[in-house]
Chain A
């Protein structure tokens, strides 16, 4: 796990990739984008896995946690969760907990423009995971990863997916904190992402509460 200040983080990730470690989780927020371009390109050539940066980590409730997620929010279960946002992950897990639904594994992929693992990377792992019955995908405005994930889900996944997108109220052209959460042109808006997911049969909740309810319905509870 890499948890060093941004200006040293690229070196720390490269150091971890040079070691025998297979999976690196980078928590650090604020790493220069050009550093991550180089790190990402190198990481791809090593065949190793990088989660993050600017992410809360990975947790399999009751088994293991690598990162900074508050463990009391999660409980063992059979729903996988993949998210670009840390606190939103906790919020949705809490909503699921209120309905008595636990998680198989929760992965925060991070909110930066360049991240080691995409939605698709994690969705494909969940699809192959016998302990996951359904996946919740939590996206937000900016970029086109949710749209690409929508295509992937329709073409490749047998595990059902429920979606959530944050940022319907975001004004166009304004940066909302995450470097990744920048609207570029008409694509990348919350509405466009919701539409892309729904067009491929993924139900999208309007609030974290509704997401939990859609999960409950999909599981037939």
Chain B
């Protein structure tokens, strides 16, 4: 789960990292009030779960509350790469002397936490990593030992952090690592980390990604609230706990296991079709989970044909077939549906469909032929 900037900042602030004074606003009026309360120049920042806000015009400096009102009016509702801005964060403008970069992330290749620090922050850090690799220093941490003082010293020294910022930066690195562990984060990033004119080290931004598998034990995040996707099918899937990603084609896909579903999308594309979505019904799918998944798929009127591709391991094909019949009964869908069932209880599953399914449901025996059939039927409906 990606947190919004202000949510991440508040979590860091509660752990002792200094952030500029700020408030959230959901209307231009609230933005004006926030700016008046903060006083002086403020920055109006779009709150979306995606980077590149500044380039998209989602971050503006306001000299006074009226300007904050105007900027908020322009930014709220803006679409930044598919994310609609629903709130802005109004914060006191900072007198910046230097901009740094600091992060703790999860290095999959090394299977260790990775702390990165750069004295060249504030701009596209990925660009810095490529053009000046020496400017971004990296240190892996043993998760059983944790982040130590010598790690912090090594990082600030090798990154070339300015003398007056060293102490503050080292303290922030410790806090950042503690936050990474205690929040079950996959990423905690501050870009820019700023040295102010009066020599304080403060966080001007925060990007925090939490491991979804650990949300059950992160009770402090309960009030962060669920950030719902804008797309209607993605929102519906999210609310019902279905793993779903919308794509732009017209062949709806339901499968079990992320690998098999991705492979199904690829095979549909090879057959000349365009997949409408990724939907993984998961391992051990029961009939009612199949019903829920189909409800999500069938609510998308771009879907012209459906391909159900199941390879039963712990998922039983007869359960999937029963779920399909229940869903069709409930939703009365008439679009063509191609079903491929293999694995555990495949004969029972196929028999259920053969004997009891309506005529718009056809069974194919292989993944390849099922994909070709679904593509053909989707084209026939277009």
Contact = CB atoms under 8 A, between A and B. Distances in A.
A20 interface: no
B108 A83 contact: no
B377 interface: no
Nearest to B369: A209
Given A169-B269, A171-B247, A209-B368, A34 B257 contact: no
B255 interface: yes
A140 interface: yes
B330 to A, nearest CB: 25
Q: Which of A87, A88, A91, A94 has the most CB of B within 10 A?
A: A87
Contacts of B255: 87
Interface in A173-212: 174-181, 185, 190, 206-209
Contact of A207 (B111, B266, B343): B266
A165 to B, nearest CB: 9
Contacts of A214: none
A86 B283 contact: yes
Contacts, number: 162
Q: For chain B, which range describes its interface: under 10, 10 to 19, 20 to 34, or 35 or more residues?
A: 35 or more
A56 B283 CA distance: 10
B256 A87 contact: yes
A37 B311 contact: no
Binding site secondary structure of chain B = mixed
The 4 closest A-B CB pairs, nearest first, are: A85-B259, A87-B257, A177-B258, A88-B259
Given A87-B311, A169-B269, A174-B245, 4 more contacts: A88-B259, A114-B108, A170-B265, A177-B278
27 contacts: A29-B283, A33-B186, A33-B211, A35-B214, A42-B144, A56-B313, A83-B259, A85-B259, A86-B283, A88-B257, A88-B260, A91-B367, A94-B342, A114-B111, A141-B262, A144-B109, A148-B109, A167-B265, A169-B262, A169-B269, A170-B265, A174-B278, A176-B258, A176-B262, A180-B108, A190-B266, A208-B267
Interface of A: 6-7, 29-35, 37-38, 40-42, 56, 68-70, 73, 83-91, 94, 111, 113-114, 138, 140-141, 143-145, 148, 164, 166-171, 174-181, 185, 190, 206-209
